[in-house]
Every structure is written in C-alpha cells, then in structure tokens.
C-alpha cells in the first residue's frame, strides 16, 4: 500500500493537481486494476479510474481542461456578463438582456454591411406564420411537420416557419423576372421556430426560437458554378473575420426520403463534386443527409468541447422550382425553369454567438463587445477630469463602463476582468497633470501613458477593420 501511495503522490505533485488523495482499497478485476481514490475532507465522494496498471499522463490534464472549459462555457459566461437568460418552464426560448442584445444587433449589422450590401443581396422580410397550403405546396409539410408549431383558426391551419424558403419563393414569384436580372439574391435575418426536444436543447447553440441569416440565389444553370465559388469565398472571409480557423466541410448527398427524379439529383451532385475538386476540399465522410430537394455542402464550427455545429450551408435545388413552375424569360422571351441555391453563412445567429463566445473565451471582437472600455478612477479628487474623458469617448460612440468608487484598485481591476473588455483606462493624479490616460489591456499588460486623441484614432481603425 505504501508503494502505491508514494507513486500517486509524486504524480499529483508533478501535475500541480489536488494531491490530497489516499488509496483505501485495491480490487483486482481480471487483468485490469481498479484504483478507488477518495478526496480528503469530502465525505462519500469516490472516483473510480479504470486503467491498465498505470495512470495515464493525460488523466490529470483532462481534469484541468474540464475546469477551464467550465469557466469559458457560454452557459456560465452569459450569467457573469448579464447577456441573456432562460426560464425553466419555457426551455429553448431566449430572453436577451441589454448587453446580449448589443452583440445580437451588431452581428446583424455585420451581415447587412459585409454580406448583403457588398455582394448585392436584396434584404427582404417575410411573415413568421404561413398557411399550411404553402408548406404543402413546397413539400416541406411532409418532412418538417413534426418539428413545426401548428395553429388552428376557423378550420384553417397555420404554421410558424421553421425556415424562410417558402416566403422567399413567394417574393420571387410576385413579378415576372427577366434573364438580365439574374442571378437574383434575396437575404433575410429571419425568425424561425422549431419544436426541438427539450433533451436536445443546449444553451443558445440549439433553441426552439432563433434567427437565421437565410438567403436564396435564383439563377440560371450556367451561373451555378460561379455562385458556388463566390459563396465558398465569402464563407472563408467571414469565418476569418471572426477568428475561426478550424472549419469542417461536409458533403451531404441524396437521402432516402427525397423528391424528384434521379437525373436531377445526379446533375446537382456532380456540380457539388466539381466545387470540392476546384477548391481541393478534403472530405473524410460523404453522408446521405442532403435536403429532400437537393444535395448540400455544410460548414461546421467547433465549440469549446470540440463538438461540431453546423453554421453555413449551400444547397442546390432543381426540383422545387419545377414543382412550383418558377420561371424566368430568356433572350427569346421563352419561359425557363429557375434554379434555387438555398444558403446560410452564420446559420443561427444565436448559435454563432455562443460558439464565438466560447472560442474567444469571452473576448469577442471589439465592435461586438457590449462594454468596450472600462474607466477606473484611482482617487475621487480628479472626478472632473475623468468625466471629461467619459464625455469625449461617448461622443465618439464607444460603449463605456465607469468604476468610480472608494474600493481598492485590485477590486476595481477584478471587475474590469469580469466584463471581458479589451481596454481599461486608469486615471489618477499623474494622468491629470499630464492630461493623458494610463492604458491597460486584457491580459493585464500595461501600455502606459497615451493621449486620448491618439487612443480614439487607434480605436476607430479597429472599428473600421472589424477587429
């Protein structure tokens, strides 16, 4: 027993982990040994480790990582930073607080400025509720009815939309479209509702009510390849802007439950395979999880636990346009079937925010963060100077949190770190005399004295470049 005790005590010291354990029993089971360890000062808490004679090196590292993961899990960080909340009786429905809503609004601004305006998307708005007739016509009813929230009024059935496709199709079909206007791109930050099982809900990564950066490209057959190339490039740029490096791409081909003939499926699958070869995309698994109307390419991002979540997607659809007779007039004024590309880049905005928070350990990009600058006064004698600096920063439309009280500086700095803000301005007698500010950044690094005008100039550069 003594030998084992010494061996484990050394390991606990080596990894700087809680080493106050003792072995009180050893049970032999076949070739494997089960070591039963018990924590001191904690009653009735046992840990069973199934091992081949020795403890693995990574065992203690995993424990550390679990603690770190818990700290930066979006389900813990949102409480600390007052971003949003849930109600136990209403799972999967999110209530945004002021700080969280700032992030949500700025993500929407990013979509409008950097995707819709840049790449000629027409932003539209469709109803959140549609008659069952529309869902049946587009064939969504057969595949999504289980996950829809249904309503009945005067013998008429309605459904809250789980996606935006039928609404966008109605807008396209409202007027006759000439070939000169193609490709026609519609974008919507649309509110969607899906009746997910409560067991599958996961913070804001899977909700019953969410907003999606949904879009549809209506194009000719000879425009498909170019639009797919453009979309892939946009996705890469957007994910780079948000510091995502490990992006998994999956190819999903025809599922068992599908509509349309094999000729159209073969055609759409060949086009997607061409794109994959063009970009040299390495795909380990080709799955048969395509949409019921066409194959798709999916873009996955990882959360803190390295679980992958689908965010971006593009789907080729030859079939729904044929069923609904969606046409355009060609050069000779002859009607031809349009092709629909269903696409999303961020996917669910709420999910994207959750992954963004976890990947950056709370330090999301400067232009999104609710509290951009924290101002701390060292003493209360120089309140006039601190108030002047606050006014200057507010005029330049920066979001500020001031910590002006009689607490110790260390307590004030603790608060600053909890806000996950990038910049902290310290103001004392020296700063007042020099007519400057003392700047501190997120990793407790001192940048020293700087003039307020220079600091604002620097911040504006960060804002413009979406850093």
Q: What is the mean pLDDT of residues 64-77?
A: 66
The torsion of the CA quartet 309, 464, 376, 103, rounded to 10 degrees, works out to: -30
In this prediction, residue 66 has a pLDDT band, given cuts at 50, 70 and 90, of low
Helix ranges (H only) for 138-223 are 140-144, 165-172
pLDDT digits (tens, 9 = 90+) for 351-404: 999 999 988 888 888 889 999 999 988 887 788 888 899 999 999 999 998 888
* Residues annotated as catalytic (active site), given as ranges: 165, 194, 212, 214, 216, 296, 342
- Amino acid 422: pLDDT: 85
**At 50, phi and psi to the nearest 5?**
-95, 115
The answer to whether the predicted template modeling score (pTM) of the entire model surpasses 0.85 is no
Angle between helices 224-241 and 262-278 (to 10 degrees): 50
In the chain, what percentage of residues exceed pLDDT 70? 84
Beta strands (DSSP E) in 42-162 are 46-51, 84-87, 90-96, 122-123, 129-131, 150-153, 156-160
109 vs 25 pLDDT, higher one: 109
pLDDT of residue 239: 94
Q: Does residue 38 have a pLDDT over 60?
A: no
The CATH superfamily label for domain 373-464 reads Anticodon-binding domain (3.40.50.800)
Each domain of the chain, given as residue ranges in start order, spans 2-60, 75-359, 373-464
Residue 35's pLDDT band, with cuts at 50, 70 and 90, is very low
CATH class of 75-359: alpha beta
For residue 388, which of 460, 437, 348, 332 has the smallest C-alpha distance? 437
pLDDT, residue 416, reads 83
Which of 43-47, 305-309, 334-338 is modeled with the greatest confidence?
334-338
Q: What is the pLDDT of residues 99-118, one digit of tens each?
A: 999 999 999 999 999 999 99
């Amino acid at each position: 027993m003594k030998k084992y005790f010494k061996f484990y005590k050394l390991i606990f010291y080596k990894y700087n982990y809680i080493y106050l354990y003792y072995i009180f029993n050893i049970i032999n089971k076949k070739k494997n040994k089960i070591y039963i360890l018990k924590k001191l000062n904690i009653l009735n808490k046992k840990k069973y480790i199934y091992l081949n004679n020795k403890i693995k090196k990574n065992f203690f590292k995993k424990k550390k990582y679990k603690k770190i993961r818990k700290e930066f899990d979006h389900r813990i960080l949102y409480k600390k930073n007052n971003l949003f909340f849930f109600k136990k009786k209403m799972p999967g429905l999110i209530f945004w607080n002021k700080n969280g809503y700032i992030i949500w609004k700025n993500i929407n601004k990013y979509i409008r400025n950097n995707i819709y305006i840049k790449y000629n998307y027409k932003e539209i708005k469709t109803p959140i509720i549609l008659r069952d007739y529309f869902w049946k016509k587009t064939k969504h009813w057969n595949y999504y009815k289980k996950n829809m929230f249904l309503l009945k009024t005067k013998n008429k059935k309605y459904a809250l939309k789980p996606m935006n496709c039928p609404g966008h199709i109605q807008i396209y079909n409202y007027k006759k479209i000439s070939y000169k206007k193609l490709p026609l791109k519609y974008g919507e930050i649309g509110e969607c509702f899906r009746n997910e099982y409560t067991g599958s809900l996961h913070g804001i990564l899977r909700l019953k009510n969410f907003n999606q950066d949904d879009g549809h490209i209506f194009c000719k057959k000879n425009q498909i390849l170019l639009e797919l190339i453009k979309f892939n490039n946009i996705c890469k740029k957007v994910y780079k802007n948000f510091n995502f490096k490990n992006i998994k791409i999956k190819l999903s081909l025809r599922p068992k439950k599908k509509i349309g003939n094999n000729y159209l499926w073969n055609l759409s699958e060949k086009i997607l395979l061409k794109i994959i070869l063009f970009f040299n995309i390495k795909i380990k698994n080709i799955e048969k999880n395509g949409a019921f109307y066409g194959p798709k390419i999916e873009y996955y991002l990882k959360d803190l636990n390295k679980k992958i979540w689908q965010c971006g997607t593009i789907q080729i659809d030859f079939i729904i346009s044929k069923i609904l007779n969606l046409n355009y007039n060609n050069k000779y004024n002859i009607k031809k079937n349009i092709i629909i590309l269903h696409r999303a880049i961020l996917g669910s905005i709420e999910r994207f925010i959750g992954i963004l928070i976890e990947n950056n350990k709370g330090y999301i990009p400067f232009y999104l963060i609710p509290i951009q600058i924290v101002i701390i006064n060292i003493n209360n004698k120089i309140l006039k100077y601190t108030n002047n600096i606050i006014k200057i920063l507010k005029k330049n439309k920066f979001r500020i949190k001031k910590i002006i009280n009689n607490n110790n500086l260390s307590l004030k700095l603790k608060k600053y770190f909890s806000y996950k803000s990038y910049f902290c301005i310290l103001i004392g007698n020296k700063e007042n005399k020099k007519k400057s500010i003392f700047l501190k950044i997120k990793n407790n690094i001192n940048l020293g004295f700087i003039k307020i005008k220079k600091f604002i100039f620097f911040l504006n550069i960060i804002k413009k470049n979406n850093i």
